Amino acid sequence: MERIIGSGRLGASECPHHDSTAGGRARGRGKCAVLVDGVTVASRKNELTHVDAEGRARMVDVTEKSETIRVARAEAFVGMSASTVKLLRDRALPKGNPLEVARIAGIQAGKKTSDLIPLCHPLALTHLDISIDVTDSGARIEAVARTKAETGVEMEAMTAVAVAALTLYDMCKAAEKGISIGPVRLLEKSGGKSGHWVRADS
């Protein structure tokens, strides 16, 4: 697995695609070596859009991109015991209605995604809806986010379900400390250059 740790810099002498002359820049799309805390780590050039040519984290410039309608759908699962599920269905938990509180928390979090995830663009969401289905083994949370913008709303949808799941844990933890969360995953996205994508097992 390839990874970059810390704030390493591309070393010109270590990268076969790097022009070592003054002012030279990386060439091509091959693998380059990144020196990170004294360790050489493999990296593929230009595959991670939030990393610049020198290995630094950056916000992607979307100024020249066209606005299109963007839609994303994500889900999260919250696993709990049968006794906690019964309390949830009977609305017998001490903090009130966990499902409604979790739903509102997820909507609020989706609108605040760029405050939570450092390199996300602030987006004006035009729609964000969250539904929660209680099952025999816990709850399934789904969010649908929409906007008209230069970049997608995948992170907004995933942040919404993640925070809704955490809120559901908080609302139910008095009854059960061993509640689990996950997976949290993107189900579908549309809009933009990459077009329509749907998770195969969704």
The neighbour count for residue 1, using CB atoms within 10 Å, is 3
Angle at 62 between CA 60 and CA 67, to 5 degrees: 145
Residue-level length of the chain: 202
d(CA 15, CA 32) in angstroms, rounded, equals 5
Catalytic residue among 37, 90, 133, 170, which? 170
3-class SS letters over 135-165: ECCEEEEEEEEEEEECCCCHHHHHHHHHHHH
pLDDT of residue 47: 67
With beta carbons less than 8 A apart as the criterion, state whether 110 and 160 touch.
yes
Per-residue pLDDT of the chain (202 residues; tens, 9 = 90+): 333 333 333 333 334 344 444 444 444 444 444 444 444 444 444 466 767 777 777 777 776 777 889 999 999 999 999 999 999 999 999 888 999 999 999 999 999 999 998 888 899 999 999 999 999 999 999 999 999 988 889 999 999 999 999 999 999 999 999 999 999 999 999 988 888 999 998 7
Question: What are the structural domains of the chain?
Answer: 1-58 (no CATH), 68-193 (3.30.70.640)
**Strand stretches in 45-196, DSSP E:** 68-79, 127-135, 138-149, 180-190
- Please name every residue paired with 36 in a beta bridge, in sequence order, or none if there are none: 39
Q: Are 30 and 14 in contact (CB under 8 A)?
A: no
Helix (H) or strand (E) holding 67: none
Give residue-wise pLDDT tens across range 47-101: 667 677 777 777 777 767 778 899 999 999 999 999 999 999 999 998 889 999 9
**What residues does 142 pair with on adjacent strands?**
75, 131
Is residue 37 part of the annotated active site? The answer reads: no
